[in-house]
Amino acid sequence: MKKITLLTIVLLVSSKILLANKVDFIIINKEDRQVTLYNKGKEVKSFSISLGFEPLGKKIKKGDGKTPEGLYHIEEKLNQSAFYLALKISYPNPWDIRRALNLNHHPGGQIMIHGFPNNGYDLKYHNKLNDWTEGCIALSNKEMLYLWENASKGVPVLIRK
């Protein structure tokens, strides 16, 4: 009986610890090259990031190399992509689409938070000191695994300049 009670207590405590680290909001600060993960208003973790190859300014069109700015959410969790793991962001939102169409452009899409490439990985190019994505937010694979395990579909993502 003592073993069952002790096991129950251990499981309850460990489940509370696991739930305490769940990410319920993500803020990406492009200027500081940081992603900060929050749970119930408190910072859980912060990581340095790489951005699109032309990171300054708002994303206006497909292929511009810019990381978008605005409020989005995690739309999908991908474990079969060109990158270690990926969280697809809900870009473009209706405002992004309207802005692009008003300028006669396609807004682009497939913006993700992801790890390093699965193939063709080049340490001299794919690193935190270089903005190498096509508009996505890149983390190390270890950091991406943490985010993947602790963030769910629907989590809001605010991308600031």
CATH number of the CATH domain containing 109: 2.40.440.10
pTM: 0.83
Number of domains in the chain: 1
| Chain centroid to CA 112 | 6
Per-residue pLDDT tens digits for 129-143: 889 999 999 999 999
pLDDT band at residue 13 under the 50/70/90 scheme: very low
Burial letters 128-141, b for 16+ CB under 10 A, else e: eeebbbbbbbbbbb
Model confidence at 120, pLDDT cuts 50, 70, 90, reads confident
Task: Give residue 18's domain range.
Answer: 2-160
